Chain A
Amino acid sequence: MRFLARRLGFYLLTAWAAITLNFLVPRLMPGDPVELLVARMKGNVDPAAIDAMRRAFGISDASLWQQYLDYLGNLARGELGRSITFFPTEVSTVIADSLPWTLGLVGVATLISYLVGTSLGALLAWRRGTWLDGVLPAATFMHAVPYFWVALALVFVFGVTLRWFPVSRAYGLDVMPGLTPEFAGSVAYHAALPAITIVAASMADRILGMRNVMVTTLGEDYVVMAEAKGLTSRRVMWAYAARNAILPNITSFALSLGFVVGGSVLTEIVFSYPGIGSMLLKGVENEDFPLMQGIFLVISLAVLVANFLADLAYVVLDPRTRQESE
């Protein structure tokens, strides 16, 4: 399991980097957040209040090193400070309330996009030279479309014009949150358009990526050999070609996760979906630095965990990574 141990080590290092970045950015940017706040309030602030704000941000006259240790200590106890937007709620509570919505929406949409996109890419490579090649220009176009613009177009067509789907909130006003079929139905109904947005905007990358690797794989000798043996074309396509083509594809998928998450933040905002993307914007708009920092940290850690899951899938699919000797 050396492969996994090495990856885990790297993710821990990256998590530390994200935490340190979070600590350093407000301190390295020109002016500190408190000065920025005071400036935006046109200076009508009590010096005692400024002092209190400094303490709330963990900015003090102590050495940078001491501040860093205090910051790490607070983080270890799960203390991210108090949100200014939702004062006096703790940032961790705001995140805990909004994270499940994002995880559900982005998780399901990414999974669908990956499965459908990869299968479609494999099919496109297999049927190269047929009418299916017509999908490629469309995929090239979708590859460059901004997520939020897809969201706007879907809202316009299916929300405002056809009135098929709701265009904001995560569930209807007429249902009570709880483990009831009505609530689940309402949640799924409200998540439909945001999920379609993420799937549509992120699938093109998976299609093009899988097609390109698969086309290269199809020229390999073992694929020709499998055909020569008289295996069914379905078996050759999935068990021989696709199975090998999927390995580099998983790596590129893991690397694209950050991009998908970024797009999902914008998608949530268009749909006023109560996930952490919407909260991040609220935080930035209200100069709510503790909230911004907390959310960036959580998003980063979530992407790292997802990357590690992709590594696990890689280990399952590629026996070479399971060998102890290198």
Chain B
Amino acid sequence: MKIKIGAGILVFFALMALLGPPLIGADPAATSEAGLQGPSAEHWLGTTQTGQDILVQIVYGARVSLGVGLLSALIATVLAVVVGLVGGYVGGAVDEVLSVLTNIFLVLPALPLIIVLAGYLPQRGVGSVAVVIAVTGWAWGARVLRAQTLSVRRRDFIQAARASGEGPLRIVFFEILPVLLPVIATSFLATVVAAILAEAGLSFLGLADLSTVSWGSMLYFAQNGQALLIGAWWWFIPPGLCIALIGTGLALVNFGIDEIANPRLRTIKVPRKARA
């Protein structure tokens, strides 16, 4: 049930990002005379100070927000898989070094680090922002994957693979990796949420590429356009709501997977002993 609702939300936003812009056709940056109008039949979600249509911006923003989120989660997950699996399988000094590195990145506060790194970037394009977010966001996945690798490597089929002369790289990426795919998938989904939030935070501070429309940059312009003081709630509510909804969708899928793994977590009514 949770997975279905969550997947439904995700499919909705994915379709919006993929099909929305060609369907709408309008330019998200196009200004008009009709500034700061509330929702109406003409502008379903109202307009910004300069008369940009907010619904159009939301639809285009979905591309950037989801795109950056997926791209940096992809990079982060590749890093996590390499560090976690190699460390967990090889063990010894390599594992010690990689574990310490993972724990260090786990403890260091990510967003301040992202802000500082973004401060040094000569150009803050979509790609470099995604890389900066990925560099700070791989550690949690690596830690989880290392722990899982430790338990998998003792299993018989790994011993068999080693006995039959397979090299360590082949064992790690062709024997262990497929077994861990569900774990990698949940860690990927959690990283997407974190990356979308980080991108939104960075854009909100005006530290990402402000010439592209993303949900974070919409909030940046809403804040700087005094949307709050003017009472233009339609300007800042939708982008934040979209971010939170995507996060909810991803979390629901993840929690659903958790519940399959650990049935006790489910919310169904259980026959209970009387606990007076």
- The binding surface of chain A is classed by DSSP as helix
* A133 lies within 8 A of chain B by Cβ: yes
With a CB–CB cut-off of 8 A, which chain B residues contact A212? 258, 262, 265
* B236 lies within 8 A of chain A by Cβ: yes
**Nearest Cβ distance between residue B40 and chain A, in whole angstroms?**
20
Which of A29-37, A61-69, A73-81, A84-92 makes up part of the contact surface?
A29-37
Complex CA distance for A274 and B248, rounded to whole angstroms: 32
With a CB–CB cut-off of 8 A, which chain B residues contact A47? none
**Nearest Cβ distance between residue B129 and chain A, in whole angstroms?**
14
* A55 lies within 8 A of chain B by Cβ: no
Which of B17-25, B109-117, B154-162 makes up part of the contact surface?
B109-117
Q: Is the CB of B243 within 8 A of A149?
A: yes
Q: Is the CB of B112 within 8 A of A265?
A: yes
Max chain B CB contacts within 10 Å: which of A156, A258, A259? A258
Q: Is the CB of A14 within 8 A of B103?
A: yes
* B104 lies within 8 A of chain A by Cβ: yes
Q: Is the CB of B100 within 8 A of A10?
A: yes
Q: Is the CB of A227 within 8 A of B275?
A: yes
**Nearest Cβ distance between residue A128 and chain B, in whole angstroms?**
7
Fill in one digit per residue for A262-288: 1 if any B CB lies within 8 Å of its CB, else 0: 110110011000000000110111010
Q: Is the CB of B116 within 8 A of A156?
A: no
Q: How many residues of A contact B (CB 8 A)?
A: 72
Residue of A26, A156, A227 touching B120 (CB-CB under 8 A): A26
* B56 lies within 8 A of chain A by Cβ: no
Q: A141-B244, A144-B248 are in contact. Are A14 and B116 (CB under 8 A)?
A: no
Q: Is the CB of B267 within 8 A of A128?
A: yes
Q: Is the CB of A29 within 8 A of B111?
A: no
Q: Is the CB of A152 within 8 A of B276?
A: no
* B126 lies within 8 A of chain A by Cβ: no
Q: Is the CB of A300 within 8 A of B106?
A: no
Residue of B120, B207, B267 touching A25 (CB-CB under 8 A): B120
Q: Is the CB of B258 within 8 A of A144?
A: no
Complex CA distance for A212 and B40, rounded to whole angstroms: 44
Q: Is the CB of A287 within 8 A of B119?
A: yes
Q: Is the CB of B111 within 8 A of A133?
A: no
* A198 lies within 8 A of chain B by Cβ: no
With a CB–CB cut-off of 8 A, which chain A residues contact B119? 283-284, 287, 289, 292
Residue of B122, B239, B267 touching A136 (CB-CB under 8 A): B267
- The binding surface of chain B is classed by DSSP as helix
Q: Is the CB of A258 within 8 A of B240?
A: no
Max chain A CB contacts within 10 Å: which of B222, B228, B243, B245? B228
Which of B26-34, B167-175, B249-257 makes up part of the contact surface?
B249-257
Residue of A10, A21, A149 touching B244 (CB-CB under 8 A): A149
With a CB–CB cut-off of 8 A, which chain B residues contact A143? 247-248, 251
Q: Is the CB of B267 within 8 A of A14?
A: no
Q: Which residue of B lies closest to A167 (CB)?
A: B228
Q: Is the CB of A262 within 8 A of B111?
A: yes
Q: Is the CB of B258 within 8 A of A296?
A: no
* A96 lies within 8 A of chain B by Cβ: no
Residue of B193, B273, B275 touching A144 (CB-CB under 8 A): B193
With a CB–CB cut-off of 8 A, which chain A residues contact B176? none
For window 94-147 of chain A, which residues contact chain B by CB distance below 8 Å? 126, 128-129, 133, 136, 140-141, 143-147
Residue of A18, A21, A281 touching B205 (CB-CB under 8 A): A281
Q: Is the CB of B272 within 8 A of A129?
A: yes
**Nearest Cβ distance between residue A257 and chain B, in whole angstroms?**
8
Q: Is the CB of A296 within 8 A of B112?
A: yes
Complex CA distance for A262 and B267, rounded to whole angstroms: 32
* A304 lies within 8 A of chain B by Cβ: yes
State the A residues within 8 Å of B (CB). Answer: 10-11, 13-14, 17-18, 21, 25-26, 29-31, 33, 36, 126, 128-129, 133, 136, 140-141, 143-149, 152-153, 155-156, 159-161, 167, 208, 212, 215-216, 218-219, 227, 233, 236, 255, 257-259, 261-263, 265-266, 269-270, 280-281, 283-285, 287, 289, 292-293, 295-296, 299-300, 303-304, 307
A-B contact pairs, 21 of them (CB 8 A): A14-B108, A25-B116, A128-B270, A136-B267, A140-B255, A143-B251, A146-B244, A147-B201, A148-B201, A233-B275, A255-B106, A258-B107, A261-B112, A262-B109, A262-B110, A266-B111, A269-B205, A287-B119, A289-B119, A292-B119, A296-B112
Known interface pairs A11-B107, A26-B120; 18 further A-B residue pairs with C-beta atoms within 8 A, sorted by A's residue number: A14-B103, A21-B108, A129-B268, A140-B251, A144-B243, A144-B247, A144-B251, A145-B247, A149-B243, A152-B222, A227-B275, A233-B276, A261-B109, A262-B111, A266-B205, A284-B207, A296-B113, A296-B116
Nearest 4 pairs between A and B by C-beta? A144-B247, A262-B111, A149-B240, A258-B109
State the B residues within 8 Å of A (CB). Answer: 100, 103-104, 106-113, 115-122, 140, 193, 197, 200-201, 204-207, 219, 222-223, 228-229, 231, 233, 236-237, 239-240, 243-248, 250-252, 255, 258, 262, 264-265, 267-270, 272-273, 275-276
